[in-house]
Structure 1
Amino acid sequence: MASIRKRGENSYLIVVSRGYDYEGNRLKAAQKTVHPPVELKPKQKEKWLQEQAVLFEREVHHTPEPVNKSITLAKYIEHWLAEVAPKKLAKSTFARDRQDVRRILPALGHYKLTGLTKEVIRNFYEEMRAERKLTDGGLISERTVEGLHNTLCSILTDAVEEGYLLHNPAWRMYKPQGTRKECPVADEELVQRLITALEGQSLKYETYFKLVLATGMRRGEACGLRWSDINWKRCSIHIQRTVIKLSHEPIFVKPPKTASGDRVVYVSKEMAKLLKAWKQQCAWERQQEQGEPLREDDYLFRQPSGDPMVPTTFTFRFKKILKQNGLPENLSVHSLRHTTASLLIAQGVDVRTVASLLGHSQASTTLDIYAHAFDKKKREAQEKLGAVMGL
């Protein structure tokens, strides 16, 4: 089994054991240094390195390449959907990838795997940019094109690992066009207007949206909270699960994708007071409706069936609140998370702390998403330095 070791900023060493000689002495391991394309995101880089490790291990052990030159992408995707993806992908990721496959197959399904050249794939992305959405007839977004690329890359990487291909032709074929739209955030003045609007809502919705704004947690993470996750003495909340609802699928609750997603966040005494008031109301309603006390393993935001409420319920309500109160309608529940992060950065909180609070597995992810906010802090810092130095 090949191992991958980080050497420098963008340098990795792949090491493959060569076993023992006839006298029982360990043979010197084979080594190879690789440099991932700099434009790859962390997850893409991880997949690229795994693919390089598989290829190098085959080279070292002289493993014959069982390339099936006749298999088409459509035939391989049929196998991938049935045998490969369900075993390695999260249910939500698998559902999203199946949606992407519906666009990939009509355009590329008839090609043999070995016939998927860089030009074919590049042309596919250009054709997708001219595609129209079924909902409003507008062009599909660049984010959708990027998602198609990520799905195609994952499928072809698995084809490499299974021996159907010698390399992944989709790597480095996607280059974003235009400027990525940043998620809108609220400034301090708008946050105050939003808080005023929330205080005119029912206690349930006021608590939910203020909690997201206070902690920066994701919609599904807030839906997945149980009362037992709250430490009242420390004013802390343990985030350890998320709620997902796919179309035509039952609600399911799952742990975070990464270890960093399982985290503890802290709230102010005022926020804790609001949570206690919501808990008292939940206990009263539970007693009135079902004649039983509130349990610690109950969800904070619970349906009468006992299941957690789903993120889309709060999405629809948030849009209604914005409209009713004359607030910018381009905001979303996810904007509250971005607002929290941007305000933390504006207050000088370091990137690692912000990444930890948001549940990002790498600080680089936080830097990428909030580059604009950090740029402002860098400008302020250099202005202060200039004032000190008289430059």
Structure 2
Amino acid sequence: MGSIESYFTASGKRYRVLYRRPDHRQTQKRGFRTKKDAELYLSAVEIKKATGEYIDATASKATIATLGADWLASRTHLKPSSLHPVEIAWRRYVLPTWGLRQVGEIRHSDVQIWISRLVVGRSATTVLRIYGVLAAILDVAVKDRRIPSNPARGVTLPRKTKGQHACLSHRQVALLAQNSRQQSTLILLLAYTGLRWGEATALRIRDVDTVRRRIRVHENAVNVGGTIHVGTPKTHQARAVPYPGFLNPLFAELMQASAGTARGRDELLFGNGRDHMRSPDTRRGWFVSAVRKAQAADAAFPNLTLHDLRHTAASLAISAGANVKAIQRMLGHASAAMTLDTYADLFDDDLDLVADALDDARVLSID
């Protein structure tokens, strides 16, 4: 237990509380006008120490700039492609606004006002990422017993709206591939396997099994700030992806050198064999040009991105009768729940099949 001592000031008699913090270092709190107030404070301190709720006033003076730098340095588990947007959110939005603020003085209303300003002119995804950085830093402050609770939790946040997936038909895929010229095989691969751009451009010749028609996906090449980083796939799990037989002769062409000899098994399947292909310019690149040419030939051809070819692969596989688990394995989703959450609208036809099957079963049982 601590102790209480009296002392005199120019304003009269005052009391101080002497006690030990959980780390056993001596500290004190001065300025109590009555001994009863000092006793109540000491009792509250002892209860908080016993229940693990004690907050050191000195620790709560740490700034977001200091804690944020430590938090960012601890994100070593993130892939470069995931860490990059987090660093941008920290540098551009969190640090300028909150850097000099002490964690103990941040209020829930302060965070809510900040969020209300951020939503103007920014997408929900961007706002949620920025908010997530501040909230995560304050979560650590709570665990370190700098503050009793996280003032960022519970604020009203913008909701992400689920956009409509742009999916192509078999005929539209063929039209896009035709207009992609040298990259036609790459387009077909993306549209019929659902590989991410980085997974496809990281493929080496040895990763393609033309006998079993399987592609071994175990690397991902991502452009982060102009530098290609090669690592594991998004879920850190390697997977085998099937592909349709019509791709075999196209792969065979890619595996042949200009003189007709076989290329090395360690060479990259696409590009020059040595350097990973970079994604095309989103305004003037070959993919945008191919889409425009396809739209000129087909009025129903949608606007789409390279990533929409992944959605196309899911759509074509579902329409061909593939089940959720098969789609999950093909796309490399962490769970079937994630697949359903992403492509639930594409499985709507299954509901009709269930209803029809129940209808038929009822008729047969009654007859």
TM-score normalised by the chain length of structure 1: 0.70
Give the aligned partner of residue 73 of structure 1. Answer: 64
1:217 aligned counterpart, secondary structure: coil
Deviations 1:95-150 (A, max 9, x none): 110111112233333432233333332332221111xxxxxxxx221221222233
Give the aligned partner of residue 318 of structure 1. Answer: 287
Contact 2:254 2:270 in 1 (8 A): no
Offset, 1:273: 1.6
| 2:94 counterpart (104, 121, 132) | 104
Larger radius of gyration: 2
| 1:365 counterpart (329, 338, 343) | 338
Give the aligned partner of residue 248 of structure 2. Answer: 272
Q: Does 2:153 correspond to 1:184? A: no
Offset, 1:60: 10
1:242-391 map, 5 Å: 242-248=220-226, 250-259=227-236, 261-280=237-256, 283-284=257-258, 294-303=263-272, 306-312=274-280, 316-326=285-295, 328=301, 330-386=303-359, 388-389=361-362
Q: Does 2:234 correspond to 1:221? A: no
Cα distance in 1, alignment partners of residues 305 and 272 from structure 2: 23
Cα distance in 2, alignment partners of residues 162 and 256 from structure 1: 33
Cα distance in 2, alignment partners of residues 329 and 262 from structure 1: 32
Contact 2:328 2:336 in 1 (8 A): yes
Quickly say closer, same or farther: Cα 1:126–1:213, change in 2 above 3 A.
same
Offset, 1:230: 1.1
Please report the RMSD computed on the Cα atoms of aligned residues, expressed in angstroms. 3.1
1:251 aligned counterpart, secondary structure: strand
1:161-240 map, 5 Å: 161-173=143-155, 175-177=157-159, 179-186=161-168, 188=169, 191-203=170-182, 205-240=183-218
Give the aligned partner of residue 94 of structure 1. Answer: 83
After alignment, is 333-342 or 367-376 more displaced? 367-376
One-letter amino acid of the counterpart of residue 96, structure 2: P
Deviations 1:148-184 (A, max 9, x none): 2333333333444455444444344354347332332
Deviations 1:169-228 (A, max 9, x none): 434435434733233222x3xx3123133124434x111110011101111100110001
Cα distance in 2, alignment partners of residues 173 and 318 from structure 1: 41
TM-score normalised by the chain length of structure 2: 0.74
| 1:118 counterpart (89, 96, 108) | 108
Quickly say closer, same or farther: Cα 1:193–1:345, change in 2 above 3 A.
closer
One-letter amino acid of the counterpart of residue 284, structure 1: S
One-letter amino acid of the counterpart of residue 367, structure 1: L
Structure 1, unaligned runs of 5 or more: 1-58, 131-138, 288-292
One-letter amino acid of the counterpart of residue 194, structure 2: G
Contact 1:146 1:174 in 2 (8 A): no
Contact 1:149 1:174 in 2 (8 A): no
Deviations 1:214-259 (A, max 9, x none): 10111110011000111121111100010111224x3221112424
Offset, 1:89: 2.3
Cα distance in 2, alignment partners of residues 71 and 372 from structure 1: 48
Cα distance in 2, alignment partners of residues 66 and 284 from structure 1: 71
Quote the sequence identity (%). 25
